[in-house]
Amino acid sequence: MKTIPIWQDIKLKDYPSLDKDIETDILIIGGGITGINLLYALKDDKRKITLVERNKIGMGVTSRSTAKITFLQQNIYSKLKKNFNYDTAFKYYKATKEAINKMVHVINEEKIACDLQKVDSYYYALSKTNVNKVNEEQNILKDFGEKVYEITELPNKIKVEKGIYVKDTYVFHPLKYVDALAKISITNNHRIYENTNIYSIEAYDDYFIAYFDDHKIKCQQIVLACHYPYFLFPYVFPLKGYIEKSYVIAQKSKNLPFSAINVKNPIYSYRFYKDYGLTLSSSHNGSFKNNHEDNFAKLFNVSKDKIAYAWSNNDIMTLDNLPYIGPIMDNIYIATGYNTWGMTSSFIASLALRDILQNKTNKYAEIFAPKRGLTKDKILNLGISIASSGYSFIDSKVNLNKSYYNNNPYFIKKDNVTLGIYVDSDNKKHIVKIKCPHLGCNLLFNKVEKTWECPCHGSVFNVDGKCILGPSNYDISINGD
Ligand SMILES: Cc1cc2nc3c(=O)[nH]c(=O)nc-3n(C[C@H](O)[C@H](O)[C@H](O)COP(=O)(O)OP(=O)(O)OC[C@H]3O[C@@H](n4cnc5c(N)ncnc54)[C@H](O)[C@@H]3O)c2cc1C
């Protein structure tokens, strides 16, 4: 079994790293599906546009997704109707449907070989108590004019209390998509640089300076497409959302043309890729239930011998279930908080930000504005978000979760710094600092994927301390033997 996402098992095009000061009109920070969709959307923009990625294009959260392209997103429309109103729910539905149509159009027009497959999307309840959630979503979709079908058994023969499905949705290979789209987005004026980590931004009267290594980029506008913004001010992102962590396996299976997700809890989500079936489960608020072995074990029980890939992933959940897309201050824009539906929402973001950057009107921009007002869900979830981050911070300090570790890794103190030491199967020691450089939480070790993970805001580091996910701007490596 490989403990990497199935999508990462391909070779992607390499881009140069930036090694000098430059000037650009628009700087896009982050080369996940958000950044690359935006670079493509701005393809005909004559201004100088530079996209910088701290690691490799696509290898962040995008490469760990289940990559369903669907507008049936559990009970999102009922939630938006209750928290906002019918009109907001309808606009999110329309924006998502349009994004799917345009994305498929781009894939076809540009002949992007990303294994796009048209499938039906299912939403289902396993117990009687959850049937009302499915019914509510069915009703609102019908009010929108959508054709919805009912079932009591999924195509993989799993019996359900009640399910619905819709047509004209898709699944694809997210890295093949990002890789191909990146290649065709580069023009004389538009550039991509990898291994270029922006660690701070300074604002001047009519320009910004973004810093990386010993160099800087001068620019007029900045788009933060970096999933979790790494700075605290001005937007104080840790108060605007929380991390949801989920676990995925891919096992050999007949390909069935459907994708499905149920009402929580526990969550079960399915899709197929070639001769593999992907199952997602054990989702939890990233601040709690962080015994990764236990969480994976629930999936490994399915049929361990056939599992080819296993991995986990984090996404940002917003407090009111709508993504944050738009300006957070003059000439700085954000696109994040996709509530685990970023394949479509990143496309919505690319169209909205393209229009905003080109001073055009976008009919959906208003509902996604990051500075939108409070709603009752937002107030309730703000409390939950503050309490869960506070809990995980304190818990990480008082309890190093030693019960998860079984002596590997072990810890030592050197010059008042706690170091975590993982010894691999070749007896090689991998030594890291176990304090997250973002806001100082102590890290947990994920024994299955061999990563150090922050329970507060989701930063993930490999055994040698390189940051591979999350807001941390710095690695935690030290020289070990
Ligand atoms: C388990 C799971 C399953 C999911 N399944 C689905 C699904 O089926 N369908 C769906 O629609 N969505 C799904 N999602 C959600 C979706 O995968 C994400 O919302 C989406 O991939 C986020 O893309 P992104 O470009 O914003 O982030 P990323 O892909 O993480 O891209 C951000 C990039 O910014 C870079 N970066 C960060 N900081 C810096 C810096 N300082 N300087 C330079 N670069 C930087 C990172 O290295 C990274 O490459 C799922 C999420 C999870 C957790």
| Of 65, 242, 279, 312, best ligand 1 pocket probe by most atoms within 8 Å of the beta carbon | 65
Peptide bond into 409 cis (omega under 30): yes
**DSSP category for residue 359:** T
Single pTM value for the model? 0.96
Strands 215-224 and 22-29, by their bridges, are parallel
Given a cut of 90, whether residue 351 has pLDDT beyond it is yes
In b/e form, how buried is each residue of 143-159, taking b as 16+ CB within 10 angstroms? ebebebeeeeebbeeee
Residue 371 to residue 357: CA distance in whole angstroms: 17
pLDDT of residue 270: 97
Residue 100 lies in a domain: no
- Mean predicted lDDT score pLDDT of the chain: 94
Q: Are residues 292 and 370 in the same domain?
A: no
Q: Are residues 451 and 308 in the same domain?
A: no
pLDDT of residue 304: 65
What one-character-per-residue DSSP string does 221-277 give?
EEEE-SSS-S--TTT-GGGTEEEEEEEEEEEE----SEEEEESSSS-EEEEEETTEE
**316, 344, 363: which is the final residue of a domain?**
316
Cβ count within 10 A of residue 384:
13
- 227 ligand 1 Cβ < 6 A: yes
Q: Are residues 138 and 218 in the same domain?
A: no
Mean pLDDT in residue range 46-68: 98
Mean pLDDT in residue range 357-372: 96
**294, 316, 338: which is the final residue of a domain?**
316
User: Ligand 1 mean position to 303 CA, how many Å?
Assistant: 28
Residue 103 lies in a domain: no
* Ligand 1, atom nearest to 30 Cα: 34
H or E stretch including 122? strand 117-125
* pLDDT tens digit sequence for 133-158: 999 999 999 999 999 999 999 999 99
Q: Are residues 80 and 159 in the same domain?
A: yes
Look up the CATH number of the domain holding residue 37: 3.50.50.60
User: Ligand 1 mean position to 84 CA, how many Å?
Assistant: 26
Q: Are residues 139 and 234 in the same domain?
A: no
Look up the CATH number of the domain holding residue 308: 3.30.9.10
Look up the CATH number of the domain holding residue 440: 2.102.10.10
Closest by CA position to 274, among listed 261, 246, 255, 293: 255
The whole domain housing 157 covers 72-84+110-170+240-316
Which residues are CB-contacts of 134 (< 8 A; sequence separation ≥ 6)? 75, 123, 124, 125, 162, 163, 164, 263
Q: Are residues 326 and 352 in the same domain?
A: yes
In the three-class reduction of DSSP (H, G, I as helix; E, B as strand; rest coil), residue 113 is classed as coil
Domain count, the chain: 3
Q: Are residues 185 and 250 in the same domain?
A: no
**316, 342, 370: which is the final residue of a domain?**
316
* Ligand 1, atom nearest to 196 Cα: 43
Closest by CA position to 252, among listed 277, 228, 269: 277
Tokens found for residue 470? 């999350």
Please give the backbone phi and psi of residue 44, each rounded to the nearest 5 degrees, phi first: -95, 5
Residue 391 lies in a domain: no
Given a cut of 50, whether residue 480 has pLDDT beyond it is no
Cross-sheet strand order for the sheet of 451-453: 444-446, 451-453, 460-462, 467-469
| Of 195, 227, 230, 473, best ligand 1 pocket probe by most atoms within 8 Å of the beta carbon | 227
- Straight-line distance from the first to the last Cα atom of the chain, in angstroms, rounded to the nearest whole number: 27
Residue 376 lies in a domain: yes
Q: Are residues 254 and 131 in the same domain?
A: yes
Given a cut of 80, whether residue 403 has pLDDT beyond it is no
User: Ligand 1 mean position to 147 CA, how many Å?
Assistant: 31
* pLDDT tens digit sequence for 208-261: 999 999 999 999 999 999 999 887 777 788 888 899 999 999 999 999 999 999
Residue 368 lies in a domain: yes
Given a cut of 50, whether residue 481 has pLDDT beyond it is no
In the three-class reduction of DSSP (H, G, I as helix; E, B as strand; rest coil), residue 411 is classed as strand
Q: Which pLDDT band holds residue 390 (cuts at 50, 70, 90)? A: confident
Q: Are residues 217 and 364 in the same domain?
A: yes
Residue 295 to residue 268: CA distance in whole angstroms: 13
Residue 147 lies in a domain: yes
Tokens found for residue 337? 């908080």
Strands 200-203 and 68-69, by their bridges, are unpaired
Given a cut of 60, whether residue 121 has pLDDT beyond it is yes
How far, CA to CA in Å, does 129 sit from each of 73, 81, 141, 304? 19, 21, 21, 31
Residue 98 lies in a domain: no
Residue 478 lies in a domain: no
What single letter denotes the amino acid at residue 226? Answer: C
Q: Is the dihedral of CA 295, 120, 89, 338 positive or negative?
A: positive
* pLDDT tens digit sequence for 407-452: 789 999 999 899 999 999 999 999 999 999 999 999 999 999 999 9
Residue 174 to residue 326: CA distance in whole angstroms: 24
Q: Are residues 231 and 330 in the same domain?
A: yes
Q: Are residues 290 and 351 in the same domain?
A: no
Given a cut of 90, whether residue 128 has pLDDT beyond it is yes
Q: Are residues 291 and 344 in the same domain?
A: no
> Which residue, by CA, sits nearest to atom 16 of ligand 1?
342
